[in-house]
Structure 1
Amino acid sequence: MSKKKHPEHVNHERWLVSYADFITLLFAFFVVLFASSQSDKKKQLKLSAAIQSAFTPLGTFDAHSKTPPLTDTNAAAITNSIPAAIVLPLPSTSTETLEQTEARLRKLLAEQVAAGRIPPGGVTMRITPDGLVISLHEAGFFPSGSAEVRAASIPMLSILATTLPAGPLRVEGHTDNVPIHTEQFASNWELSTARSTAIARLLLERGPINPANLSAAGYAEFHPVASNNTEDGRTQNRRVDVILLRHSANSQ
């Protein structure tokens, strides 16, 4: 007679193995997250010291000790100590004359030319009865027949916007006497006005300029600074003038 087979016992606790594996993996995941969130404080301090030493000559940051203390710092205190933006300091211009402003800006422009951001002769300056005229020539700031500012010249415009002394400004667009008629610009009036507006908008966006002190206009070819009979003269006439006025435009 055959031996009676007993039914196989079913292990109802097998799920515990999978559950334990899942918990182990979840624990490892959170350990990795925690470890990655803990930055190396020594590397942070070295970076802070490097940034401070680089920008101290520009006066961008307040003076601190050369070697930051290797101590724990409250995260909120660290956040509050980071400057909102790195910009050039505004000089005290309450007693600055137009001649002093011109000399200061010439030095900054020379640095931009040396850095290759604008071509030599791309910016010229002169003092007129109206005030200090800063001429931005087409070759350095606009493609031919366009009112779109070249990306390479935007850092130069940012510096200009942050270093111009407070006061009334007028932005004037000028062209040569060669007629233009494109889908975008019906005449030199439209082109000169669009270019002056583009420069004015960038100055407002990049610096603490009071919009009430700023005006923009286009004069087409009717205010030349050189003869339009030569290529060199036409090149000089294609420009946008940023004029630091002696008096408010409303008082003239």
Structure 2
Amino acid sequence: MARRQKRQAHHEEHMDETWLIPYADLLTLLLALFIVLFASSKLDAQKFDQLVRSFNVALNGGLSVLNQPSPVPLDPTLAQQTLHKGQQAEREKTEEERKLEEAIRKETEDLKKLQQQMEGYIISNKLEDKLQTRMTEEGLLITILDNALFDSGKADLKPEARKLATELAAMLVPHPKKVTVTGHTDNVPIHRPEFPSNWDLSVKRAVNFLKVLLENKQLDPAKFSATGMGEYHPVASNATPEGRAKNRRVEVAILRDLAAPPKNSVQP
């Protein structure tokens, strides 16, 4: 009885070592992979051909199950042609990117020239406290406070505001881009027969300013649009008279045709 238990214990202590076979295969494959990676890290045209031939032999050109060579021959110029096509495609892509970057740079310069013209007009007419210009990712944004354009609660342009719109239209002629005119108000309710809400007032102001711009027949009306945002896009707090004055404004955006440049290249 004791001898049988001893043989059983010895049998239980003997471990199953069949896992060593796939483990050894795995190590062999990893070694082969590292050799290929090492060879590829110092690749030139000749070594590339040799590498392709090696893979072809391993995958297609070796002996088949019936110990017959693969019928698919290796074209010795295939690797070079593939490499050349890849390099050519990369050069063409780089050239397209360069042209796009150049076009974006030129468009930004044109918008900055327009901004400088507008800044000159603002300074010469002492309108610094009523007009502002700013470069954004979308294009050039011109902000005009409502007291430079309209009387309180009205949408008809003042005579001096018509002059401003006329001057701006002339500046836009050399820059045939899309232009949006957006009206904004504060949050003080308005109840007038012609303007039941701030929505109505903001829309009418934007449309009236747009109409004066388009009196210049050199501008394409198809590129212009007008919208009203009412009180819902403030730039300052409506809790103070100063904040409400900043919120009552008309914004004229001269939009880019191309994608915006990187943020770090956009200047205020």
Q: TM-score, normalised by structure 2?
A: 0.53
Q: After TM superposition, which residue ranges in structure 1, 4 or more long, deviate above 6 angstroms?
A: none
Other structure's SS at 2:257 match? coil
Task: Name which of 98, 101, 111 aligns with 2:111.
Answer: 98
Measure, in 1, the Cα distance between the counterparts of 2:211 and 2:159: 14
Measure, in 2, the Cα distance between the counterparts of 1:242 and 1:95: 17
Report the RMSD for the aligned CA atoms in angstroms: 1.9
Does 2:137 correspond to 1:134?
no
Who is 1:186 aligned against? 196
Q: Percent identity?
A: 38
Measure, in 1, the Cα distance between the counterparts of 2:219 and 2:186: 29
Paired AA for residue 122 in structure 2: L
Q: Deviation per CA, 1:145-184, whole angstroms, max 9, x where unpaired?
A: 0000001221221111001222100000000111111111
Who is 2:37 aligned against? none
Q: Would the aligned equivalents of 2:141 and 2:251 in 1 still touch at CA under 8 Å?
A: yes
Who is 1:198 aligned against? 208
TM-aligned CA deviation for residue 96 of structure 1: 3.6
Measure, in 1, the Cα distance between the counterparts of 2:107 and 2:183: 29
Structure ID, larger Rg: 2
Q: Deviation per CA, 1:211-247, whole angstroms, max 9, x where unpaired?
A: 0000000000111111111111110110111100113
Q: Matched residue pairs, number?
A: 151
Task: Name which of 248, 253, 260 aligns with 1:243.
Answer: 253
Measure, in 2, the Cα distance between the counterparts of 1:143 and 1:206: 24
Who is 1:144 aligned against? 152
Q: Would the aligned equivalents of 2:117 and 2:171 in 1 still touch at CA under 8 Å?
A: no
Paired AA for residue 149 in structure 1: L
Measure, in 2, the Cα distance between the counterparts of 1:124 and 1:206: 23
Higher helix share: 2
Measure, in 1, the Cα distance between the counterparts of 2:230 and 2:159: 24
Other structure's SS at 2:214 match? helix
Q: Would the aligned equivalents of 1:175 and 1:188 in 2 still touch at CA under 8 Å?
A: yes
Measure, in 1, the Cα distance between the counterparts of 2:157 and 2:114: 25
Who is 2:226 aligned against? 216
TM-aligned CA deviation for residue 94 of structure 1: 7.0
Counterparts of 1:100-179 in structure 2, within 5 Å, are 100-113=113-126, 119-164=127-172, 165-179=175-189
Paired AA for residue 111 in structure 1: S
Q: Would the aligned equivalents of 1:158 and 1:207 in 2 still touch at CA under 8 Å?
A: no
Measure, in 2, the Cα distance between the counterparts of 1:133 and 1:106: 12
Other structure's SS at 1:108 match? helix
Q: Would the aligned equivalents of 1:168 and 1:214 in 2 still touch at CA under 8 Å?
A: yes
Q: Deviation per CA, 1:76-108, whole angstroms, max 9, x where unpaired?
A: xxxxxxxxxxxxxxxxx9784322321221012
Other structure's SS at 1:103 match? helix
Q: Would the aligned equivalents of 1:157 and 1:203 in 2 still touch at CA under 8 Å?
A: yes
Measure, in 2, the Cα distance between the counterparts of 1:130 and 1:124: 16
Q: Would the aligned equivalents of 1:112 and 1:156 in 2 still touch at CA under 8 Å?
A: no
Measure, in 1, the Cα distance between the counterparts of 2:164 and 2:256: 23
Other structure's SS at 2:118 match? helix
Other structure's SS at 2:166 match? helix
Contiguous gaps of at least 5 residues in structure 1: 1-92, 114-118
Q: Deviation per CA, 1:104-163, whole angstroms, max 9, x where unpaired?
A: 2101221222xxxxx541211112222211111111110000000001221221111001
Paired AA for residue 99 in structure 1: K
Measure, in 2, the Cα distance between the counterparts of 1:96 and 1:181: 45
